[in-house]
Homo-oligomer: A and B are copies of this chain.
């Protein structure tokens, strides 16, 4: 039945409307303080209708991640493939990441909030996205090492957290500042920090 729901409805207009409404409501109030009624009202459907498209409240969040947020992450792949140079790849990835999250503030809020929980409702989806992202970085770094523009004495697992953590925090800070400065402009300086660090070249041990 669950499978039936998914195949039947995914293209449907109402499915989209509910999903969109849910992201916005969750972003505004947080998952637990949001009610099905609020989402229904924003989506312009009846409360009961939501249960034709989603198994339960948790499932809405799961689908936000498996359908909406995942799409965004899939876009990252092409961004990386568009160029050959590893540093350029990284720059494109980070820029696109910031762009997408700037474009959809609500998704950014829901994403950051949910990924920093220990008991995640969309655990599986987050793992998948996380793997997607981490694989991209691995690829870039490894290619960089082959090209000689990236150091070889790196613990790859750490590099990935280092990069994703910094990006997430830049987004998080942006979300908490009312002043809506341009998030994308952070891409280049940030990548610069990833590559060069903060140390002065000559001071390098």
Q: Which A positions have Cβ atoms within 8 angstroms of B?
A: 27-33, 87, 109, 112-113, 115-119, 141, 144, 148-152, 154-155, 158-159, 161-170, 172-173, 175-176, 186, 189-190, 193-201, 203-204
**A10 CB to nearest chain B CB (Å):** 22
What are 21 residue pairs bridging A and B, where the CB atoms are less than 8 Å apart in the complex?
A: A30-B117, A31-B32, A87-B199, A112-B116, A115-B116, A118-B175, A118-B176, A150-B203, A151-B196, A151-B199, A158-B189, A161-B166, A162-B169, A162-B170, A162-B190, A164-B169, A165-B168, A193-B197, A195-B198, A197-B197, A197-B198
Q: A194 — which chain B residues lie within 8 A by C-beta?
A: 197-198
**A141 CB to nearest chain B CB (Å):** 7
**A41 CB to nearest chain B CB (Å):** 11
Instruction: Give Cα A72–Cα B140 distance, bound, in whole angstroms.
Output: 37
Residue among B118, B144, B151, B166 making CB contact with A162, cutoff 8 Å: B166
Asked whether, in the complex, the Cβ of A154 is within 8 Å of the Cβ of B32, the reply is no
Asked whether, in the complex, the Cβ of A186 is within 8 Å of the Cβ of B158, the reply is yes
**A118 CB to nearest chain B CB (Å):** 5
Asked whether, in the complex, the Cβ of B173 is within 8 Å of the Cβ of A161, the reply is yes
Instruction: Give Cα A159–Cα B113 distance, bound, in whole angstroms.
Output: 22
Instruction: Give Cα A196–Cα B69 distance, bound, in whole angstroms.
Output: 33
Asked whether, in the complex, the Cβ of B141 is within 8 Å of the Cβ of A30, the reply is no
Asked whether, in the complex, the Cβ of B119 is within 8 Å of the Cβ of A149, the reply is no
In this complex, the member of A119, A164, A198 whose beta carbon has the largest number of chain B beta carbons within 10 angstroms is: A198
Asked whether, in the complex, the Cβ of B33 is within 8 Å of the Cβ of A119, the reply is yes
Which B-chain residue is minimally distant from A90 (CB atoms)? B198
Contact status of A198 and B144, CB under 8 A, knowing A29-B119, A118-B27:
yes
